[in-house]
Amino acid sequence: MFDGFTLETVKLPEVSLRVRHGGSGPPLLLLHGHPRTHTTWHRVAPLLARRFTVVCPDLRGFGKSSKPADATDHEWSSKRAKARDCVDLMRHLGHSAFHLAGHDRGAYTAFRTAMDHPTKVMKLAVLDGVPILDALARCDARFAARWWHWFFFAQPDKPERAILADPDAWYGGSPEAMGGDNYRDYRAAIHDPDVVRGMLGDYRAGLYVDPMHDLDDQEAGRKLRCPVHVVWSKKDDLEELYGDLLALWQPWSKLPVTGAGIDCGHHMAEEAPEALAAELEGFFLGELE
């Protein structure tokens, strides 16, 4: 995986992050989702590295990055804390500003990074995600039936016990679909009790502290200042649940929101790497029509 990339653990002010980086050109930070690690990008990152300096970390709480003990307010698992990590990491690597793409749970960290650090994020791509406040406000029986894990994962203690009893049954995946090295890295993560606890902390923050940060922005009229591009999986359920995804994101952005669907399932970096790389490259380089 990641031929020509450097793999290292970077010590930052609050945590240490495992990160791969390589390529040349404008800096581009890629954030994975749940329950993946940075290796989910192994088919996309080399394509983007032809024109970008690509950085792929394990988010705090995930993979082989730090897993700080979380207080009852879940602040250490918040997207605001992870946004600080993103800025600190890119600064450490010599990038004062950068392009940013986040998938799934990583999309929330990407959103918070662009909101809290507007001078650092040049362009933002949101992959298979909707604003947390909108998801919670529109929660109905269909959402609860399909995304019930949001609420189960946020409960104390019980989700760890349930998942760790049989992580493979919970999360699935296969080396054929994911690629052998990526699958082995992912499987090691989901069998690690500290990683499972860290990943669940992301959901706990997502129901408690993260919505409060978003609500503060909404009430203050703060919006994203950079160009925003939304990419969604046509074989996932976001369009079915929410309809016009660009209209959903538009109130959060000062500029017109653009976007497109990709003909694949949820884990787009693994299922449709060429299409995703082309979409991201076109957006970040300003080549989309």
Task: Note the pLDDT tens digit of each residue in 7-61.
Answer: 999 999 999 999 999 999 999 999 999 999 999 999 999 999 999 999 999 999 9
Q: Which of 58, 104, 217, 236 is catalytic?
A: 104
Q: Name the strand (E) or helix (H) holding 121.
A: strand 121-127
The stretch 178-187 carries a mean pLDDT of 98
The Cα–Cα gap between 169 and 64 comes to: 22
The stretch 150-165 carries a mean pLDDT of 94
Q: Output DSSP code: residue 142.
A: H
The stretch 124-151 carries a mean pLDDT of 92
pLDDT confidence of residue 285? 95
Catalytic residue status for 99: no
**Beta pairing, strands 98-103 & 121-127:** parallel
Higher pLDDT, 12 or 72: 12
The Cα–Cα gap between 84 and 144 comes to: 31
Residue 106 near residue 125, CB atoms below 8 Å = no
Give yes or no for residue 138 having a pLDDT over 90: no
The Cα–Cα gap between 280 and 275 comes to: 9
Catalytic residue status for 92: no
Residues in CB range of 189: below 8 A, 6 or more apart? 35, 37, 62, 63, 64, 195
- Round the average pLDDT of the chain to a whole number and report it: 95
Detail the DSSP E strand segments found in 12-72. 16-23, 27-31, 53-57
Report residue 289's pLDDT band, with 50, 70 and 90 as the boundaries.
Answer: low
What sections of the chain are H helices per DSSP? 45-48, 79-92, 105-116, 132-137, 141-146, 149-153, 158-165, 167-171, 175-178, 180-190, 193-207, 209-220, 238-242, 245-249, 268-271, 273-284
Q: pTM here?
A: 0.97
Residues in CB range of 288: below 8 A, 6 or more apart? 229, 258, 279, 282
**Chain segment 231-264, per-residue pLDDT in tens:** 999 999 999 999 999 999 999 999 999 999 999 9
The stretch 258-278 carries a mean pLDDT of 97
